[in-house]
Structure 1
Amino acid sequence: MTPLEVLELRRRHIVDRDFESFANLFAEDGVIEMPFAVAGLPDRLDGREAIREFSLKAADHPVEIVDLRVVQLHETVDPEVVILELVTDGRNTTTGEPFQATCVQVFRIQNGEIKLFRDYVSAATVPDLS
């Protein structure tokens, strides 16, 4: 799969709440980094199994991701690296209130697997979902 095909699968798995399949998109030694992590979220997850564990627990949070809208896609001179400017459309499942969260995401995708997912999310756009 190309990096763009992997990213489209990632979008579908997140929207479908298929967190097992989401985790399976990562390499065994894949990493998620969230340098601007909001309260209650880790700033780093190391390895597919840590990503799986976190993702399955996140399914219990009162949030539904309706869509991940790519505002701008940046392909780089390195064919493994893709940068997305993204808006997450979601809703708090407890209150029904919709929200939008903006971010820049950097991916390194090798041989059809996500090696690195670095998420620079604007904490000011993420609602309190507790």
Structure 2
Amino acid sequence: MTPLDVLELRRRHLIARDFDAFADLFAEDGVIELPFAVGGLPTRLEGREAIREFSLRTSDRPIDIIDLHTVQLHQTADPEVVILELTTEARHTTTGTPFEARCIQVFRIHNGKIKLFRDYVGAHTIPNLTN
């Protein structure tokens, strides 16, 4: 699988809220980094099972991802590294309010598995999840 194939699977799994399948896309030692994490979110998750546990534990958050729209895809000189400019189209399930969250995401994908997923999401683009 190419890195782009993996990213398309990731998109499908997140839309379907299939967090087990999402976690399975990561290498055993895969990492998620959220440098601008807010609202009690961790800035780093290490290992596929930690990613799975966190994804399943937070699956009841009141966000329904409708789609992930790639604004721009940047392939780098390193064939394992892909940078996305992305807009997440979503809905706050408690209020029904639609919203978009823009971000830059950096991936390192080796042998069809995500080794690193670094998400630079603008905290101001995500609605208050406590409502």
Query: What TM-score does the superposition give when structure 2 sets the normalisation length?
Result: 0.98
SS state at 1:129 partner: coil
| Counterpart Cα distance in 1 of 2:4 and 2:94 | 33
Q: Could you list the per-position Cα deviations for residues 13-46 of structure 1 after superposition, in whole angstroms to 9, with x for gaps in the alignment?
A: 0000000000000000000000011212110000
> SS of the residue aligned with 2:35?
coil
Corresponding letter in the other structure for 1:47: G
Partner Cα separation in structure 2 for residue 97 and residue 37 of structure 1 = 22
Show structure 1 runs of 5+ residues with no match.
none
Runs of 4+, deviation exceeding 6 Å: none
* 35-44 or 45-54, larger mean C-alpha shift: 35-44
Which amino acid in the other structure matches residue 114 of structure 2?
Answer: I
CA distance in 1, matches of 2:124, 2:51: 24
Aligned-pair identity (%): 72
The match for 1:111 is 111
Moved more, 109-118 or 56-65: 56-65
- The residue aligned with 1:96 is 96
Deviations 1:95-116 (A, max 9, x none): 1001110000000000000000
Q: Take 1:102 and 1:12, find their aligned partners in 2: how far apart are those partners? A: 18
Q: Deviations over 1:62-92 (max 9, x none)?
A: 1100011000000000000000000011011
- Where in structure 2 are the equivalents of 1:72-91 lying within 5 Å? 72-91=72-91
Bigger shift: residues 53-62 or 70-79: 53-62
Query: Could you tell me which residue of structure 2 aligns to residue 30 of structure 1?
Result: 30
Work out whether 1:40 is the aligned partner of 2:40. yes
Q: CA deviation at 1:129?
A: 1.2
CA distance in structure 2 between the aligned counterparts of 1:39 and 1:94, rounded to whole angstroms: 17
* In structure 1, C-alpha distance between the alignment counterparts of 2:54 and 2:98, rounded to whole Å: 23
State the SS of the aligned residue for 2:42.
Answer: coil
Structure 2's unaligned 5+ residue stretches are none
